[in-house]
Structure 1
Amino acid sequence: MSQPSLYDDEAPSKSQKKRDAEALQALGTELIALSHDSLKKLQLPENLYLAIREAQKITANGAIRRQRQYIGKLMRDIDPEPIREFLAVLRGESDQHTAWLHRLERQRDRLLQDDEALAEFLAAHPDCDVQNLRQLIRNARKEQAESKPPKAYRQLFQLLKSLSPAPGLPQHATASDSNEDDEDNG
């Protein structure tokens, strides 16, 4: 029988732990760059939220470095994946979020072209304001026919966006909380 090696342990190496800590610190640095409203949407633990807000006020290089390290340490106690997904959505790097936006665009176009699509949509979304939806569809059709700026067309998209849960955003954040640049200008 072979002798068990000292390195057969399942625990991560010291180097791996250091890389993980540095990755969390880098993620924390991205959080420092976020606006107050974006940070609120993440619903971070209170101590982490306060540490990030404090880091946003610090201007001294040594102090900000120590604060980043502290934030990285606090982040070891939370799951970083939801934060990474949220940041990917904000950066426009989420394929899942982009596909969701394309589905909404197709749904909007179907609503404008086919009255049966409206009945299907209303069956799927019984809580929708029917009168407002019909008005937006009428106005968007009129805008297209008269080659006017697509104000109602965009409002219809925002309405659809508010009625459909956005992938990659925290559960409490609404779809309209993501970048307004998500919508096409079609």
Structure 2
Amino acid sequence: MRGTDDDTGEYLSPSRSQRRREALDVLELGRRLSELTDAQLERLPLPESLLPHIRETRRITSHIARKRQLAFLAKQMRREDEEVLDAVRDAMDESGEAARREVAAMHRAESWRERLLEDGDAALAEFIDAFPAADRQHLRQLVRNTLEERKRNKPPRAFRELFREVREAIAGNADDNAGSADDDHG
């Protein structure tokens, strides 16, 4: 049983239910870590002592053996300071959000590139209105070169360069005013 403070009457340690919830949280974190690739693990602030346990958990395919190894991984993780585990949780949440933002920006650039190729000068004028820092002449030349590449079945060099230019213009505008670009399309 946990004791109480004689002066205040407060409990001295967390309840059994609270300790179990915390242990299950660590177990879930271990499960999520075991599903990551080596490259993703490298980006997280993980202690070196945990990496072999995470890799071993990934290696095991038998259900019961994997469950047992995952419990062992969680036990090793509970030995770490809570600050270390919080840093890992934060890094995992940030990388997930950052990846979603990056994918959304890439889709937006692809969408603009396709509009520029399909709608020509009307889409270019709209793009320049939305992103005034973009170079109109250079974009027009890249659109022309891309259409010529497609017609002659050449490698998509200008197509890729057009994507880079569109992505940089969008990113430059997002850096200048983070909130107003969303207002235009929301």
TM-score, with structure 2 as normaliser: 0.51
Separation of aligned partners in 2, 1:119 and 1:109: 14
The amino acid across from 1:116 in the alignment is A
Give matches, 1:29-178, under 5 Å. Answer: 33-34=38-39, 39=43, 48=45, 51=47, 69=77, 73=82, 74-77=84-87, 79=90, 80-86=92-98, 89=99, 100-112=105-117, 113-165=119-171
In structure 1, list runs of 5 or more residues that go unmatched: 1-11, 166-170, 172-186
Contact in 1 for aligned 2:116/2:143 (Cα 8 Å): yes
How many percent identity over aligned positions? 29
Larger radius of gyration: 2
TM-fit CA distance, 1:13:
3.4
Separation of aligned partners in 2, 1:72 and 1:108: 48
RMSD of aligned alpha carbons: 4.3
The amino acid across from 2:130 in the alignment is A
Separation of aligned partners in 2, 1:129 and 1:32: 40
Higher RCO structure (Cα 8 Å, ≥6 apart): 1
Separation of aligned partners in 1, 2:134 and 2:21: 50
TM-fit CA distance, 1:98:
5.4
TM-fit CA distance, 1:143:
0.7
Separation of aligned partners in 1, 2:37 and 2:135: 39
TM-fit CA distance, 1:55:
6.4
Bigger helix fraction: 2
TM-fit CA distance, 1:99:
5.7
Separation of aligned partners in 2, 1:13 and 1:126: 55
CA distance 1:102–1:34, change in 2 (3 Å)? same
Give CA-to-partner distance per residue, 1:46-88, whole Å, 9 cap, x none.
xx37x46x86799x97xxx69x7277841325634223334xx
TM-score, with structure 1 as normaliser: 0.51
CA distance 1:72–1:21, change in 2 (3 Å)? farther
Give CA-to-partner distance per residue, 1:93-124, whole Å, 9 cap, x none.
x5x76565444333212111321111111121
In structure 2, list runs of 5 or more residues that go unmatched: 1-16, 57-72, 176-186
Contact in 2 for aligned 1:28/1:71 (Cα 8 Å): no
The amino acid across from 1:76 in the alignment is D
The amino acid across from 2:97 in the alignment is E
Give matches, 1:5-16, under 5 Å. Answer: 13-16=18-21
TM-fit CA distance, 1:137:
1.2
